[in-house]
Amino acid sequence: MELEKSDVITEDLVSFLEGTELGTNGARYTHIGLRKRIFEADQPKSFSLKRNGHMVANVTFCVRDFALYVRYFAFHPRFQSDSRPERKRNSRSLLELSIEDVFKNLGAQKDVPFYAYIDADNSRSQQMSTRFGFSPYTGIISRTFSRLYPRKMNGVSLSSDWTEIAGLVKNDYSHYDMYFDTHIQKGPFVVLRNRLGDIEAYAKFNVVEWKIHSLPGRYGNLWVKALPFIPILRKLIKPKAHLFLCPDIVSQDIDAMKLERFFSAALALYKANSIIWFLDPNDPVYQKVKDRISWGILDRIIGTKKVNVVMRNANSSYSVERPFFVSAFDLI
């Protein structure tokens, strides 16, 4: 078993991850835009385990001033464990020992926490994180906003000028736990301007595209095949190329009615039909609007999903006074 280190994203890693299916609870999908997005990872530090020249596992970190984020943690299907604790393999134990050495060596070089996101339904990944010394830190959620026919809104447009919103974003988010602005500075931004041209609301969205292989549940494969024939759902969910938006930041000073219209206008700009919003449930803007906006059909079907934030070497405890900053870029 050979450990290969790299401070750049290699073609071998891209090919390995492109062939990796993600998902939990029967849902399976692959990222169509992974090849473009992976090269945008901030300060990547990648460790790949190879056997006979073939990659069998990879862990890639984003090195940040305040923490090391586990951006990718993937195994070849042959080396993936299942959720049953009694099932053990010597070869997998060797993988774990090698990866544990990576965590120890990096921890010795940079005395900051490691953190990762894990779907609350993914028991296999939960068990794996525990074996590598991660423990629960807090939890975030996802809500789905959808519109069959998104409506435009006067004053809403795209902007690429970070300086226009930098002060507003700092005021809204700089006190958040794990806040950083590496990715949100890149734009473009969706802004709402009043008649004087002043910005009244803003957001930064990531455009995401999945190929959906299976939906959650026992008959997930059949649902994917049936979707093109279901009048309403076939417009909202397109298995071969499902396009949606994920916000990194949303203006805090916005009421529920305006946010609903603003989200719909953003969908119209990007020619999409749904938004998946990952955020701390204690986020002030979410607390203000969660029961006052119409989320749409997909929210009634999917509901609120939970994602666990796990951490190794945590140097503080979670506080509701400092909501966790969720970079959607890290989750897609």
What is the CATH number for 75?
3.40.630
29 with 85, same domain?
yes
Alpha-carbon span 18 to 31, nearest angstrom: 7
Confidence bin at 82 (pLDDT 50/70/90): very low
149 with 110, same domain?
no
Alpha-carbon span 118 to 124, nearest angstrom: 10
pLDDT tens per residue, range 1-59:
788 999 999 999 999 888 777 776 667 888 888 888 899 999 999 999 898 888 988 99
Residue 79 lies in a domain: yes
Q: Which helix (H) or strand (E) holds 199?
A: strand 199-214
Return the SS3 of 57.
Answer: strand
Residue 119 lies in a domain: no
**pTM of this structure:** 0.90
Alpha-carbon span 170 to 103, nearest angstrom: 32
Amino acid residing at 16: F
Q: What is the pLDDT of residue 78?
A: 64
Alpha-carbon span 97 to 331, nearest angstrom: 26
Q: What is the count of structural domains for the chain?
A: 2
Confidence bin at 89 (pLDDT 50/70/90): very low
Residue 327 lies in a domain: yes
87 with 192, same domain?
no
The range of the structural domain enclosing residue 108 comes to 2-114
What CA–CA distances, in Å, run from 5 to 43, 65, 114, 132? 14, 20, 18, 19
108 with 159, same domain?
no
Q: What is the pLDDT of residue 81?
A: 52
Residue 128 lies in a domain: no
208 with 312, same domain?
yes
243 with 326, same domain?
yes
pLDDT tens per residue, range 104-149:
999 999 899 999 999 988 888 888 899 899 999 999 999 999 999 9
106 with 169, same domain?
no
Place of tokens 């979707």: 227
Amino acid residing at 210: W
Span 213-218, average pLDDT: 78
Contacts of 275 (CB under 8 A, 6+ apart): 144, 145, 146, 205, 244, 245, 246, 247, 263, 266, 267
164 with 102, same domain?
no
Q: What is the pLDDT of residue 243?
A: 95
pLDDT at 323 over 50: yes
106 with 168, same domain?
no
pLDDT at 88 over 80: no
Residue 229 lies in a domain: yes
Q: What is the pLDDT of residue 97?
A: 85
* Residue finishing a domain among 65, 94, 114: 114
Residue 125 lies in a domain: no
pLDDT at 193 over 70: yes
Alpha-carbon span 239 to 225, nearest angstrom: 9
At 186, list the tokens.
């890149």
96 with 168, same domain?
no
104 with 151, same domain?
no
Q: Are 225 and 214 in contact (CB under 8 A)?
A: no
Q: Are 288 and 134 in contact (CB under 8 A)?
A: no
* Residue finishing a domain among 98, 114, 130: 114
* End-to-end CA, the chain: 30
Place of tokens 């796990």: 310
Residue 137 lies in a domain: no
Residue 135 lies in a domain: no
159 with 268, same domain?
yes
pLDDT tens per residue, range 287-297:
999 999 999 99
